[in-house]
Amino acid sequence: MIEIYKKAFDYMRKNFVDSILFIISSAVLWTLSIAIPILGVIIYSYFYPNVVAWYYTKVTGDNINPDYKTAFLSLLIPNLLASIGIIYLFYGITSASIGPSASAGYINTFGLTNYQYVSYNPTLIIVELVIIIISIILSILLMYTFYGSILGKVNKLSIYFEKSFILLSYMLLYAIIASIILFIIYIIYALIISISYGMLIFFILLTIFVVPTVTLVALLKAKEL
């Protein structure tokens, strides 16, 4: 485990500019997946595997033969569910009562009625949350499928329960260790220099040192499995 962490960090450190480009590309795709429901998820699921494959080959020099179709599906299915769940969570109004003021001329300039209040169905909200939880579980179960397909080790959509949880544990542990170290740096910086920008620096460093390295940790471990 320590060897994989060290190797991933060294790859990131020695290819810092490429790591920054990877972060920016990932952030743009992730933002699209949130900002544009459904379509954004499709765009993210299609292009993100290409970004990951590019980054891995760039920093390691390994020759890989990614199965982009499998990678696409392993991202699309859980993220599409999550997108649908989020849409219903924010816009799933099951009933709305229009106050008497509507008939008195309370119509805005776009011709839309101003609702006095809306009521939500608790059952529907629970269903929406269940959809999101299922999408998270699917993301975990398909984790090895995604990274394995990037490496060319997986060529069909399957669930690799044990391998996916091994990857998850490696990624989580690294993220926790890195977060603790960076938080200590933040505390020292805040106490000695300035507390104003301490948290901002913490999140910037967290993004730089965690996002690309965690991805490399997953790929390097998936290569071993």
Q: Give the Cα separation of 151 and 62 in Å (integer).
A: 9
Which residue has better confidence, 12 or 121?
12
Nearest CA to 23 out of 153, 199, 210, 172 is that of: 210
Instruction: Flag whether pLDDT at 87 surpasses 90.
Output: no
Which residue has better confidence, 111 or 155?
155
Q: Where are the domains of the chain?
A: 2-89+139-224
What is the per-residue pLDDT for 103? 44
What is the per-residue pLDDT for 120? 55
What is the per-residue pLDDT for 112? 47
Residues in the chain: 225
List, as one string, the DSSP characters of 30-63.
Answer: HHHHHHSTTHHHHHHHHHHHHHHHHHHHHHH---
Per-residue model confidence as pLDDT tens digits over 119-133 = 456 777 777 788 888
Q: Which residues contact 181 (CB under 8 A, 6 or more apart)?
A: none
Per-residue model confidence as pLDDT tens digits over 47-56 = 999 999 999 9
Answer left, alpha or beta for residue 111, where phi above 0 means left and psi between -120 and 50 means alpha. left
Q: What is the mean pLDDT of the chain?
A: 82
Global confidence as pTM: 0.80
Confidence of residue 84 (pLDDT cuts 50, 70, 90): confident
Which residue has better confidence, 197 or 215?
215
What is the per-residue pLDDT for 118? 46
Share of the chain above pLDDT 70, in %: 82
Q: Which residues contact 43 (CB under 8 A, 6 or more apart)?
A: 29, 32, 33, 36
Q: In this structure, what token pair is assigned to residue 97?
A: 């009562």
